[in-house]
Amino acid sequence: MFVLLLTYTRPLDEVDALMRKHMAWLNDGYAAGRFLVSGRRIPRTGGVILARGDDRAEIEALAATDPFVAGGVATWEVVEFRASQVAKELRPLL
């Protein structure tokens, strides 16, 4: 499992200019079964994605294709972890 922590590096108007492309990228990640949960940080300084995968390099490569990163308005930190406990409602997601 991975937590992807997005941090904006440019003003929000520059981020918002790439939002449609970023949302399409997110939708592709959900369709591929990679992304489980995503949303904005509060306050709005970036975002968070809970992703599944077995290969850190693959997740890092995926994060690098985010239009926010390609557009130079954000960076990703990828945190890998092994889920050792989970609510029973979420077990099918793992």
Average pLDDT rounded to a whole number, residues 27-36: 96
Angle, CA of 40, 43 and 48, to the nearest 5°: 30
> Range of 73's domain?
2-93
Q: How far is CA 52 from each of CA 40, 43, 90, 91, rounded to the nearest angstrom?
A: 19, 25, 13, 13
**Number of other CB atoms surrounding residue 1 within 10 Å:** 17
**Cβ distance 32 to 83 under 8 Å?**
no
Ranges 19-23, 35-39, 53-57, 83-87: which has the least confidence: 83-87
Strand order in the sheet with 2-8: 35-40, 46-51, 2-8, 74-80
pLDDT tens digits along 44-71 = 999 999 999 989 999 999 999 999 999 9
Look at the chain and report how many structural domains it folds into.
Answer: 1
CATH number at residue 89: 3.30.70.1060
